[in-house]
Structure 1
């Protein structure tokens, strides 16, 4: 069990960036006091960090693919597709993620959901924290880039969900529209299976959103996108950010790429409910690649500049930004502290998933998944379980 000491660094802990060393053993962050006073040990390896910031690794809970593959389209080689993305997103500081499957035909769900299993990260790439299934139980009016012929209703209650997905074993998050008939039962039964229910692609009003939260929903999918716009007489799902009628504060995904969400809207969300923000990419197959044509599930996508649109339309359909870029833009848009911007992509998603005791933090006992960044919040290296995975050693 190699004992590693990271020195000459600033670490993010307890919402602050402080001058302190980091100690790692057996893939975990450890308390140095026990080393000095109980064990009287000395480090096996000392690593000079050159004054860089060490922060918890980023966690992306909504990513559709990247680097030429789409998780909802490349079904025959889904395990290879997920592994490819897992191995590349570490370049952007992502140490854990939830592969996202958009609204698809039932045979697609039944084929690929059993194959994307939770997997620990390492030199091969980021950890898989379970699947985010976005649809097919959404509003046709707010379908966004989801194929209308695949959208479904709960015609047979929860049996419809079981028939669609086939298996819940690998699912961590389900995005659904809470206004659909029978959604109260669906939400409760998903929560009973320890699945996070996220509200999105919806025309729900605030009352329907609040009822969904009372039934167990705890997250909003890509805030402002694919939902009713804020209105002063009924703010819709956006109103959940300040609602006093829900059991606990809501978390909300936010695509801070400057395209899906205007900088002013990012500031509104941040100032209204800062502790709930969870930065996501909603990245598609074009992530990391040039302009051109790609797939998003059943549909064709055209990428021009930083905008990804359904082919032949002006309908936005996911992002080409990576999570490091989203963190940098969120910091720029909101003028929040660097610590907060980093936690919005690490601690906050970990809390949304209920795994903050071992992910998204540098507290003692947590997994040693972390990143080195410069003062511009640009990722310099990525470490998983205390081992450097990017840049790889030559």
Structure 2
């Protein structure tokens, strides 16, 4: 067996509660101290004083387009960009993420997607779970920052996706508009391949959304943004949060951008109070995250950062966030009045449940991967750990 590490003088988040208890780690996994005490009768090889920190599961980011000047949808420096951003995310408490590629021409997908491979995290960066491909099978009417000339349909079904993307091997999530013809067959086929289908950038009504969910869709991309606004006669995709046509035992998850810009505080509160179980915090951060104001690029489009907001250059159209995950957690906590436990789990346990990895990620349960983050009383990131190894320390 490997070396046993005991984390002391800490409070841990487990089973929806934060309480004072030591955390034990061995071979990159969280272990049950009772077995150590009573069965093995051994002491820790290393004892780490956490100095009163909260230990929470590492954050899981499902939608991030880039950062530090690198864009995952840009052909040049793809591998370097993913590596740089992956390491940068450690300072935000993110231990796993889905690099997101937005609507692009076919040749971009064919070049970029093979280069963004799944990999385990460590000192070189957060774990890459798989790519989130956002588009190009979306609605031009709700394109947001996506270039309309590259938006397409799937008239031939799944073969169109294979033609456009080149390969689905590295893809974990696909955002598509469920009102498009042949969407039902496409969703069913993607689920057979264990690819998560998210509905978004869409003019779908509630009925379209319910059909998509019954065919296997399980996520809504950045709720309230790039979809029909809520209407009392037809609430659109927003209505999925309270639909009575969701299959029994299924949870509809939804990403929400709590950066203080994309989703107003009252909207955050509504989503939280209506369907807390399915809420997942995402940043939707773009290439300008971590950079100063000025001209930058997202996908094939020029963007502009001004007044701490990101716009399509020369317009007032928002095109992505520049907030970190820990900032989104803090904003959400303040806006909704939820418990700290809930805000942290919305960035860890909830995305893990969507991905079906809640036994090993997004939790501090015994047997889970020892991916976690130390937070001080102000919820600032003190250090980040992957497989029981410190991969970021604010004091370093």
Bin of the TM-score, shorter chain as denominator length? over 0.9
Q: Is 1:290 aligned with 2:292?
A: yes
Equivalent residue for 2:375, pick from 373, 376, 392 = 373
| Residues 87-122 of structure 1: per-residue CA shift (max 9 Å, x gap) | 101001000100000000000111111111111000
| Residues 353-376 of structure 1: per-residue CA shift (max 9 Å, x gap) | 111110000000000000011122
What is the 5 A alignment of 1:177-256? 177-247=177-247, 248-256=250-258
Which residue of structure 1 lines up, in the alignment, with residue 160 of structure 2? 160
Rounded to whole Å, the distance in 1 between the matches of 2:156 and 2:383 is 49
Which residue of structure 2 lines up, in the alignment, with residue 345 of structure 1? 347
Gaps of 5+ in 2: none
Which residue of structure 2 lines up, in the alignment, with residue 39 of structure 1? 40
SS of equivalent to 1:317: strand
Q: Is 1:64 aligned with 2:65?
A: yes
Contact 1:203 1:227 in 2 (8 A): yes
Deviation at 1:155, TM superposition (A): 2.1
Deviation at 1:393, TM superposition (A): 8.2
Contact 2:381 2:394 in 1 (8 A): no
SS of equivalent to 2:213: helix
Rounded to whole Å, the distance in 2 between the matches of 1:31 and 1:219 is 33
| Residues 43-72 of structure 1: per-residue CA shift (max 9 Å, x gap) | 010011111100001110000000110000
Which residue of structure 1 lines up, in the alignment, with residue 151 of structure 2? 151
Please give the root-mean-square deviation of Cα atoms over the aligned residues, in Å: 0.9
Deviation at 1:3, TM superposition (A): 0.5
Equivalent residues, number: 393
Contact 2:349 2:363 in 1 (8 A): yes
Runs of at least 4 residues off by over 2 Å? none
TM-score, normalised to structure 2's length? 0.98
TM-score, normalised to structure 1's length? 0.99
Which residue of structure 2 lines up, in the alignment, with residue 316 of structure 1? 318
Gaps of 5+ in 1: none
Which residue of structure 1 lines up, in the alignment, with residue 134 of structure 2? 134
Which residue of structure 1 lines up, in the alignment, with residue 87 of structure 2? 87
SS of equivalent to 2:320: coil
| Residues 324-354 of structure 1: per-residue CA shift (max 9 Å, x gap) | 0000000000010000000000000111111
SS of equivalent to 1:352: helix
Rounded to whole Å, the distance in 2 between the matches of 1:54 and 1:119 is 24
Rounded to whole Å, the distance in 2 between the matches of 1:360 and 1:93 is 12
Contact 2:91 2:394 in 1 (8 A): no
